[in-house]
Amino acid sequence: MTKPDVKPDEHKGWRHWFRRNPALNLAYRIGVGVIGGLVLVAGVIMIPYPGPGWLVVFAGLAILSTEFEWAGRVLKFAKRYYDRWAEWLKRQPSWVRGLVMAGVCAIVLVTCYFLNVFALVGGWFGLEWSWLQSPIFGSR
């Protein structure tokens, strides 16, 4: 009698319990996809802001790569190009690095403006200037 076509490591660990039942396996893969996708989207949103944006992107891709082969390929690709970008930026003169930093700061300031952060903080100090109000979330 021959064994079914099973990978050798599938009989080890807790993951094989899910793989044995197609419905549980599908539910597990959907769960990994949803959680990994949410972490990935959060990381992409955080990229231009101070903090661990790229780290969170890589974490989301790593979560996804536990079940999806394409995510592993994207993770390798993203790491390679992130490292290339960081090395390129290190080799640039200070004025180029300054321009990149100015661009990042502009993205942060525009986002804060549209999220009405300036009006909120201005309100703490009694500054009710109309130009601080976001055109999207402004209260007026």
pLDDT of residue 91: 94
pLDDT of residue 28: 87
Cβ proximity of 47 and 41 under 8 Å? no
Q: Which residue has the tokens 């955080």?
A: 46
- Give tens-digit pLDDT for 73-114: 999 998 999 899 999 999 999 999 999 989 888 888 888 888
Buried b (16+ CB within 10 A) or exposed e, 88-113: eeeeeeeeeeeeeeeeeeeeeeeeeb
Secondary structure (3-state) at 140? coil
Q: Is the pLDDT of residue 3 over 50?
A: no
pLDDT of residue 88: 94
pTM of model > 0.75: no
Rounded Cα distance between 135 and 59, Å, is: 34
pLDDT of residue 140: 52
